[in-house]
Chains A and B, each alone.
Chain A
Amino acid sequence: MKKKGVIERYVIIFIIAIAGFLVVLLFLYRIGVNNQTPEDVCKASVLLRASTARVGASSDLVPLECETQKICITAGKECAQFAGEKYSKVKVDLDKKEESKEKIEKTIADAMYRCWNMMGKGELSIFPRGTFEAGKPTCVICYRIAVADDVANNKDLMSSVNVNSYLETRVVEGTDQTYLEALTNGQVRSYARGFRDKLSDDKNVKSTKEIGIAFMQILAESEKDDPLKAFTNVAGTGAGLASTGLVFVLGPLKGIAAGIITGVAFGGASAFQAFQTRAAAAAACKEFVKEDKAKLGCSAVIPFNYNDVENFAKTCALIESQP
């Protein structure tokens, strides 16, 4: 009789536990699917992965729920680059050049900042260590930004866009930091002179109508490794990104966006080598977990020419975001 009572008690507890589990699942599902933006969902999965990695679980167990968001900068036309895909629009008025220029710069700068923020500001270890073999970082392509033909054909407007300058001088909404400071966790206030000169002298600029904003992370392979050295291992290809991805963008702009982050973080590997701006390169390179020195590494947000597949694939062997 007593034994039967015990079993019944445990059966009831077990049923309640299962029911609770299902309620929590349903709750998470509803929050995740109905009420949150794709950015919120991505950020939550990044935090969950970083947390589970801290307690020793394989980070591969927690998938990243990050879908590449598409933004079309247009004066009215559709972005052919996104044919068959869902995308949001940023409208510009071609008659108002100054306002349009600023809108394009802000769109790119905001995307870079949101990507950095979404992926934990370089303070979280997100990708499994195994994927950093051969010095190739895993990437998340947070955004694809394209210009519709009506905007791309306005050479006057496109050649005036200077995202690098925007990042250096404009303050992120709701903070007292410039984009450059925010993207380097407050460590860089202005570009090193050499880097700035290189940007404006770069002859390898390829124009494109579409860029991607990618988050990359690389960890030092062992405790003895210098994370900056690990970052430098990718410098060869990083330099590739720097020359094409860098200024990539929307027309033959001198020093558009990318540079910066390239300079500061990823491609920064090449930048700091060339210009000895080690501090700048190190900006986004910090200890992920202070008590565990083996987990040293670097993170970066870089804009790149979305159509320069060869260069991107050399640098980034695995994309963890969904297309």
Chain B
Amino acid sequence: MTRAKQNKKASTITLDNVLSLIIFIVGIILIVAGIFKVYNLVGEARESRSAETLLDKILTKAKSVEVGEETEVTLQGFKHDTELLLVAFNKDQAKAPEKCFFNNCLCICGGLSLTSPEEIEKLCQEGVCKQSDTKISINSKKVIQIPLPYAGTPLGGYQSNELKIELNAIDIPQTLFKLKIKKPKENEVVIYR
């Protein structure tokens, strides 16, 4: 075998090896990405299921309260990666998540990326909502602080700005918690901590 032929064979082997290595790496990346995608979907489904259970429990308890009475319900929080808020929307409200279908509804939504109180309805598009025949209001305040970029001052220094947003919402903790539910009049329920 001549040297030229040997070199050609060696370069073919190297090319084959590089190609197979690239295909192998791409394959592994695709499989790992697939596993993580499935894992994330399962995780989100688990969180949604837990949120739905919680909403069902609150709404069932709210139904059983008599007019003029108040009751307390113990709820089991669950593990979640981002802050979750309990928010109510009513059918006469101009802005509400689409999944409320112009009805009263109670939602569990992520609340971290909020920049104005009006935006809560946008966040709840991704959240879990349950419709209700009764008008629901949340009588607890939740203040969300959003740090704004540092701004220059006339004296040359810097001052920090912070946007504070106050919402009628309740934090969903990751442990046991209690909510109070009262029914001041027929078809109206107030939830607070």
Contact = CB atoms under 8 A, between A and B. Distances in A.
A binds B: yes
A84 B31 contact: no
B114 interface: no
Interface stretch (B57-65, B149-157, B182-190): B57-65
A293 to B, nearest CB: 28
Interface in B160-193: 173-178
Contacts of A139: 175
Contacts of B75: 323
A309 interface: yes
Main DSSP-derived SS at the A contact region: mixed
Interface string A8-27: 00110010011001000100
Given A10-B20, A63-B43, A83 B176 contact: no
Interface in B97-139: none
A317 B79 contact: no
A115 interface: no
A68 interface: yes
A85 B56 contact: yes
A55 interface: no
B176 A21 contact: no
A17 B26 CA distance: 13
Contacts, number: 92
Contact of A317 (B43, B64, B74, B174): B174
A7 B60 contact: no
A306 B72 CA distance: 13
A53 interface: no
A323 B50 contact: yes
Interface string A289-323: 00000000000000000110100110011111111
A2 interface: yes
Interface in B36-75: 38-39, 42-43, 46, 49-50, 53-54, 56-57, 59-61, 64, 74-75
Given A63-B43, A316-B175, 10 more contacts: A10-B24, A21-B31, A68-B76, A83-B57, A309-B74, A309-B178, A312-B176, A319-B78, A323-B53, A323-B78
